[in-house]
Amino acid sequence: MSIDLSQFYQVFFEEAAEHLASMESLLVALDVSDPSMDDLNAIFRAAHSIKGGAGTFGFNDMTEVTHVLETLLDKLRKQEMVLTDDMVSAFLEAGDAISMQLAAHRGEGEVDQEQIKAVCAKLEQLSLVQPAAEATPPKAAKAKGSKKKAAPAALAVADEDYGFFDDIPAPAAAVDEGYGFFDDTPQQTAEQDDKQGYGFFSEPTPPVAAPAIAAEKPAPLLASAAHPTRRAADRVAPPTPESSIRVSVEKVDQLINLVGELVITQAMLAQSASQLDETVLERLQNGLNQLDRNTRDIQEAVMSVRMLPISFVFSRFPRVVRDVASKLNKKVELKTLGETTELDKGLIEKIADPLTHLIRNSLDHGIESPEKRLAAGKSEHGTITLNAFHQGGSIVIEVADDGGGLNRGKILSKARERGLPVSDEMSDQQVWMLIFEAGFSTADVITDVSGRGVGMDVVKRNIADMGGRVELDSAEGVGTRTTIRLPLTLAILDGLSVAVAGQTFIVPLGAIVESLQITQDDLKSVSGEGHLLRVRGEYLPLVALHEIFNIQPTVTDLSQGIVVIIETEGRKTALLVDELLGQHQVVIKSLESNFRKVPGMSGATIMGDGKVALILDVSALDARHAARARQAA
């Protein structure tokens, strides 16, 4: 009976991607002058696991590349060759090639066969290089209290990283450097392994009988380069593997959507209960309060399922820094902090590209060449620091470098060349934000790294689309820090409900600075700017929501309205509304999916009374008001 293996494709794709990510992080962290044998074995196991799975499913193109890759890795881990920088670069290129083939099998692109041939040729060429006689072999974990090399154990079993059945406990004597399901001895080569099968359904090699062990001098049962020697009496039970399952994102999203509906239903019940007779309400109130607590607990638990550590994003940047720094002939170290900080999966996927742009920008424009750094009294090695942490209801991500900082005069000069409205009286923060203008670049030479003015404007736009904002802080000669503030999730929002002309709108709570009632003396009219509101000596543009949405306000006298001060992209704006209704936690519904895109709105929600309330996009409102003011002038 034949088995339809296509049903397991997705599992293989996910596991192969995890192995590739593991390989890349280990390769980037390798100390070429003194590599760890444990790391070399782990890299080999990852490559071999991909090869085994690819062979099982008939992905022969991947099998060919991984075979050439693991042949060279096998020689390194057996200390037949010495690791070089060229080898590490070739291994990383091979990982890229396998990723491209994996994407093609997923239906997400095509394979560049010339690139595949070039990578294989480079690996084969490196395999022919003879190691230097005096080279130092890779370091290995030493066996405690054992000076002699232990004999190979019976039932030597391969590594734990090969395919669908990763969590199956290994037999008693598991040799770390094995690379088949039931290898004979550590002396077996990768080529011999291929003849015996290396996939999930390989024919096992019969075990070799263990040598007799003298009672008065028991031999070690397990000894390898990666594990200390243990006697039978010293053995301990293996730790229980972490219990986990793979769940598709669609199922999690469906669960979150249902919990959102539960939140809305609970709000409706609370709204209806408030209109009941007090004697009836008293009996109902306790149950509603308990339902409210349970609903919030379920909501938080379900939302946590989508939360992932930001290390999923940070882990890709050591490779970026290594490749770009090498291309620019710079020496750069990457430091990461707060890698366990959790963020919604939807934001994790969207923040990767903006962070990549910022890091490449720091590498090209921020960090100076080794010669310039030494001349300035700095270390020739520059440092880029990635930091993530929670602050209130937001997550903050910082990208900082200790480079030359931003040049205020150069930025203003470039801005004038492009016809941007600038002046020498602008604050440093206003000048720094100019680099986020579309097409803006201070690079003197256009390279394949930067200089075309594409990137920073994309960063700003993408972060704004996620409901976040970006800030810049720089000191010339000291360095630059870019700060990104994002909501923890895109599914739930804390907001302030306001009334305008009898309609309800939601203002995101994270954007609100304060709310207040104004007087006529605080209002000023300026040509080209519309109305300005003076708040503690600072003049802010006044945006009347009823004018933006072209609806008839309930309050016609500006001095009788309520003003909500919001802050976006470093600028404060005063929103004029009729009334403040209350603070709510709302479930965000997409307008584009359920209706159509509405200018000035980022989404919608359903209130407790069953009515739909639109969620304001404060950044878009600020830009829209500025455009109306310019037209009026």
What's the average model confidence in pLDDT over 240-266? 75
Query: Under a CB-based contact definition with an 8 Å cutoff, are residues 151 and 219 in contact?
Result: yes
Q: Burial level of 22, CB count in 10 A (0-12/13-18/19+)?
A: middle
Q: Tell me if the pTM is above 0.75.
A: no
pLDDT at 450: 53
Secondary structure, 3-state, 11-56:
HHHHHHHHHHHHHHHHHHHCCCCCCEHHHHHHHHHHHHHHHHHHHH
pLDDT at 223: 35
Is the CATH number 1.10.287 carried by domain 250-306?
yes
pLDDT at 447: 52
pLDDT at 230: 37
pLDDT at 451: 45
pLDDT at 337: 93
| Four-CA torsion 113, 104, 92, 401, nearest 10 degrees | 120
pLDDT at 136: 47
Residues 367-407 have pLDDT tens digits of 999 999 999 899 999 999 999 998 766 789 999 999 988 88
Long-range contacts at 358-361 (CB < 8 A, ≥ 24 apart): 358/399, 358/459, 358/482, 359/317, 359/320, 359/321, 359/324, 359/384, 359/386, 359/399, 360/320, 360/324, 360/449, 360/450, 360/455, 361/450, 361/455, 361/456
Q: List, as one string, the DSSP characters of 99-154.
A: HHHHHHHTTS----HHHHHHHHHHHHHHHTPPPPTTPPPPB-PPPTT--SPPPPPT
- In DSSP terms, 222 is beta-bridged to 230
pLDDT at 442: 63
Per mean pLDDT, which of 54-58, 60-64, 126-130, 206-210 is the most reliable? 60-64
What is the radius of gyration, based on Cα positions, of the chain?
31
492-632 has which CATH code? 2.40.50.180
pLDDT at 144: 39
Q: Which helix (H) or strand (E) element contains residue 593?
A: helix 591-594
Residues 331-371 have pLDDT tens digits of 999 999 998 888 888 888 888 888 989 999 899 888 999 99
Eight-class DSSP state of 589: B
Of 15, 89, 87, whose CA–CA distance to 50 is shortest? 15
What's the average model confidence in pLDDT over 266-272? 79
pLDDT at 235: 38
User: In which band, very low, low, confident or very high, does the pLDDT at 12 lie, cut at 50, 70 and 90?
Assistant: confident
Q: Which amino acid is at 46?
A: A
Which is higher by pLDDT, 498 or 520? Answer: 498
Residue ranges of the domains in the chain?
5-140+149-212, 250-306, 309-487, 492-632
446 vs 328, 365, 369, 406, 441, CA distance in Å?
A: 13, 12, 17, 18, 10
Which is higher by pLDDT, 422 or 197? Answer: 422
What's the average model confidence in pLDDT over 601-610? 80
pLDDT at 633: 53
The superfamily (CATH) of domain 309-487 is Histidine kinase-like ATPase, C-terminal domain (3.30.565.10)
- In DSSP terms, 587 is beta-bridged to 492
Residues 459-495 have pLDDT tens digits of 888 888 787 888 888 988 899 999 998 877 666 778 8
Which is higher by pLDDT, 108 or 187? Answer: 108
pLDDT at 382: 92
Q: Range with the lowest mean pLDDT among 13-27, 28-42, 185-199, 554-568?
A: 185-199
Tell me the C-alpha distance between 584 and 497, whole Å: 7
Compute the Cα dihedral for 518, 522, 527, 528 and give only its sign.
negative
pLDDT at 386: 94
pLDDT at 179: 39
Neighbours of 288 (CB within 10 A): 16
Compute the Cα dihedral for 168, 171, 173, 179 and give only its sign.
negative
What's the average model confidence in pLDDT over 562-567? 87
User: In which band, very low, low, confident or very high, does the pLDDT at 452 lie, cut at 50, 70 and 90?
Assistant: very low
**Average model confidence (pLDDT) for the chain?**
75
Is the CATH number 1.20.120.160 carried by domain 5-140+149-212?
yes
Per mean pLDDT, which of 129-133, 261-265, 625-629 is the most reliable? 261-265
